């Protein structure tokens, strides 16, 4: 089994860095090659259990939080929308504004494609441009809701799909992967009530085309 990239662990929670192209949890077609399976195997050796709090899309990398008992899972999920969830993304073209909040209603069709509509589930996505070049922009994204494919569908709708995102009509695949990474998560610990910040730097390939931006 590939070694987990553990960001933080205590008796109650486990925070790991998920690679791109790995499912968070299983599907009907794939049950074993998942982050959940790897975490379960790891915790099984310590006589601990794992409970899924949230998930990232298969092609999105970055921070994933797990709980070690069902009560903590429920507490974390209850407060999930209050937590700070930030991403780094590389998108096609230049954004219409340096900073903006995208408020859309999202629906999903029978092919599991999420699209903006005049009805559906409300979504709130904030972005800020960090750097641009001739064909792409590096942005920071913060989500206030947790809809499926929310960031991908919202950015595609305004004409700036995430690079490598063929599902949402991206034409550029400069990173040879989806240009989306969950980079920062701020929560209140469900037991200690202490505010905790977890950080995962986006892969270096995200920054190769942006000479003016330095990730601290």
Helices (H), 64-127: 70-78
The answer to the question of residue 215 being in a domain is no
The answer to the question of residue 121 being in a domain is yes
Total domains in the fold of the chain: 1
110: domain CATH number is 3.30.2350.10
- Report the predicted TM-score, pTM, of the whole model to 2 decimal places: 0.94
The answer to the question of residue 216 being in a domain is no
- Which pLDDT score, from 0 to 100, does residue 3 have? 83
- Which pLDDT score, from 0 to 100, does residue 211 have? 78
pLDDT in tens, the chain (216 residues): 568 999 999 999 999 999 999 999 987 666 668 999 999 999 999 999 999 999 999 999 999 999 999 999 999 999 999 999 999 999 999 999 999 999 999 999 999 999 999 999 999 999 999 999 999 999 999 999 999 999 999 999 999 999 999 999 999 999 999 999 999 999 999 999 999 999 999 999 999 989 776 665
The answer to the question of residue 212 being in a domain is no
Structure tokens at 178: 């989806």
* H helix or E strand, kind and range, residue 44: helix 35-44
The answer to the question of residue 1 being in a domain is no
Q: What is the C-alpha separation between 126 and 102, in angstroms, rounded?
A: 6
- Which pLDDT score, from 0 to 100, does residue 215 have? 67
The answer to the question of residue 107 being in a domain is yes
- Which pLDDT score, from 0 to 100, does residue 100 have? 98
The answer to the question of residue 152 being in a domain is yes
* Exposure letters 128-152 (e unless 16+ CB within 10 A, then b): ebbbbeeebbbbbbbbbeebebbbb
- Which pLDDT score, from 0 to 100, does residue 41 have? 95
Active site residues per annotation: 57
- Which pLDDT score, from 0 to 100, does residue 216 have? 58
- Which pLDDT score, from 0 to 100, does residue 30 have? 62
Q: What is the C-alpha separation between 173 and 148, in angstroms, rounded?
A: 22
Count of other CB atoms within 10 angstroms of residue 97: 11
Using the 8-state DSSP alphabet, how is residue 98 labeled? Answer: S
End-to-end CA distance of the chain: 32
The answer to the question of residue 213 being in a domain is no
Count of other CB atoms within 10 angstroms of residue 103: 13
- Which pLDDT score, from 0 to 100, does residue 122 have? 97
């Amino acid at each position: 089994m590939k070694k987990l990239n553990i960001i933080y662990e205590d008796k109650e929670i486990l925070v790991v860095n998920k690679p791109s192209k790995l499912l968070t949890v299983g599907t009907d077609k794939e049950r074993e090659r998942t982050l959940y399976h790897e975490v379960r195997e790891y915790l099984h050796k310590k006589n601990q259990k794992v409970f899924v709090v949230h998930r990232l899309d298969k092609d999105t990398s970055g921070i994933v939080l797990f709980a070690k008992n069902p009560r903590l899972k429920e507490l974390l999920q209850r407060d999930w929308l209050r937590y700070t969830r930030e991403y780094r993304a590389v998108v096609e073209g230049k954004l219409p504004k340096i900073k903006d909040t995208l408020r859309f209603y999202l629906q999903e069709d029978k092919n599991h494609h999420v699209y903006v509509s005049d009805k559906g589930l409300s979504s709130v996505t904030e972005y800020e441009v960090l750097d641009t070049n001739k064909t792409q922009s590096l942005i920071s994204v913060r989500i206030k809701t947790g809809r499926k494919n929310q960031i991908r569908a919202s950015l595609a709708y305004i004409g700036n799909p995430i690079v490598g995102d063929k599902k949402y009509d991206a034409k550029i695949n400069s990173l040879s992967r989806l240009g989306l990474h969950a980079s920062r998560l701020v929560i209140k610990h469900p037991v200690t009530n202490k505010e905790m910040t977890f950080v995962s730097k986006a892969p270096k390939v995200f920054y190769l085309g942006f000479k003016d931006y330095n990730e601290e």
